[in-house]
Structure 1
């Protein structure tokens, strides 16, 4: 059974498409494991674009699968634990991927689906896209989506989404910082962003993303120490040597 599709473009951009449209791309345990594996296979990409088949981007965890696990002798605890561990691993695989991961959202993204969008480095959405963390409506607070959501939206805005479960339209999601912008065609916009990133120096992009993640949440001094060390290494790299020389000599740069 196909859970997702993978494609590599000539420019080095990797496309990963969630492909369970009948289940609204719900994140079953197998789907989460497949996503982590696909991201691992895209370690050598220049950028990654995350897409979805069908009218929904992702409806979160597979509630039918979780409910079926309650019939197990432990009431489902073991399966729930494995699923949450797989979910955390998949989200970390997005965040910690060496190159930028871009979400193209053209439908609803709820609960862990919203978490997936928030975990991406960049996200674009069509006006039809909507976002929510509706666990409270079914007695299940969206605690793991809260991790990614609170790192994108402001604290009070994130708490409102988590406490009320209300649907947030695309334009509001952009204002909250959950997506970068609202566009007529999310796929085209995401591919354009990815192509622009792929055209830059690979070492620069990889070093830059790693440095950005490393300084987040640190004290001001620690952040500058980390960023300064990254800048030194970046200056020593061929990307910067060639780029600066081309700029100073007013000639086209050579892609590294």
Structure 2
């Protein structure tokens, strides 16, 4: 018999902070962690909070269940075909919200590590590719299967083509064939491949190692890396040289150089 209480829906995204690392866990395992509007909005809000949190120096994006992320929620999309405009307004809004998340990750001051188990397909592959580093379980698979359903993975192609060589990206996009973790590592989509049981620990350890460095140096470095990567060579060196000067004038650079010369561990002030 009903007891008068109502079940509370599980959050679509769970944040856990450990030391200086924030872990964001996609929490829609029954829906293969599909990127519903609710999940996209939760990611946007969490990334905004983390960007303003000086206590967090690295981020891990993980997922519950056997699938990392199956991309956009196709059931949510299909339901809007019946809209008076055929779903156009909803689709435009959905793609804009997804693009905002994928741009927020490289724009985030803190580095982001993806911990991928199982399949990462379509926008799920895009999510992994948008992260700064990827740790994958041996059973992980990456795929952009849009052409199989008449929907080319154009937005996933943006992040994918910036993470791997152009022809490798085009082969994934045109054939829809999944690649395993080993091949993903070979083409540069994945940094490390580990046994399934070690995935979270490896991602956490990698994030903790990054978080142990000077936050000022790491964040300046990430920002400069993304800024210079799309520039012509001479402009890229101008941007990088200016960043080096800014970094050299920081307290942590003086501390780090002094500690190296004195053969002691540095004491970062993160400024």
TM-score by length of 1: 0.98
What does residue 64 of structure 1 align with?
75
What does residue 45 of structure 2 align with?
37
Deviates more, 1:219-228 or 1:36-45: 36-45
Q: How far, CA to CA, are the matches of 2:81 and 2:266 in structure 1?
A: 60
Per-residue displacement from partner, 1:138-191 (whole Å, max 9, x unpaired)? 000000000001001111110000001001011000001111021122211111
Q: How far, CA to CA, are the matches of 2:123 and 2:94 in structure 1?
A: 12
Q: How far, CA to CA, are the matches of 1:83 and 1:96 in structure 2?
A: 20
Q: How far, CA to CA, are the matches of 2:70 and 2:18 in structure 1?
A: 27
What does residue 96 of structure 1 align with?
107
Does structure 1 residue 112 correspond to structure 2 residue 120? no
- Please, which of 182, 185, 189 is the counterpart of residue 171 of structure 1? 182
Q: How far, CA to CA, are the matches of 1:36 and 1:179 in structure 2?
A: 24
Matches within 5 A, 1:18-37: 18-37=26-45
Per-residue displacement from partner, 1:45-102 (whole Å, max 9, x unpaired)? 1000001000000000000000001111111000000000000001011111101000
What does residue 167 of structure 2 align with?
156
What does residue 15 of structure 1 align with?
23
Deviation for aligned residue 1:14: 0.5
- Please, which of 234, 242, 249 is the counterpart of residue 229 of structure 1? 242
Q: How far, CA to CA, are the matches of 1:164 and 1:38 in structure 2?
A: 34
Deviation for aligned residue 1:252: 2.1
Matched residue count = 255
What does residue 219 of structure 1 align with?
232
Q: What are structure 1's unaligned runs of at least 5 residues?
A: none
SS at match of 1:40: helix
Deviation for aligned residue 1:41: 1.2
Q: How far, CA to CA, are the matches of 1:177 and 1:88 in structure 2?
A: 22
Q: How far, CA to CA, are the matches of 1:22 and 1:217 in structure 2?
A: 39
Q: How far, CA to CA, are the matches of 2:260 and 2:192 in structure 1?
A: 30
Does structure 1 residue 205 correspond to structure 2 residue 188? no
- Please, which of 62, 75, 84 is the counterpart of residue 51 of structure 1? 62
SS at match of 1:82: helix
Aligned-CA RMSD value = 0.8
Deviation for aligned residue 1:212: 0.5
What does residue 93 of structure 2 align with?
82
Q: How far, CA to CA, are the matches of 2:166 and 2:69 in structure 1?
A: 24
SS at match of 1:88: helix
Q: How far, CA to CA, are the matches of 2:221 and 2:144 in structure 1?
A: 31
Deviates more, 1:195-204 or 1:38-47: 38-47
Deviation for aligned residue 1:251: 2.2
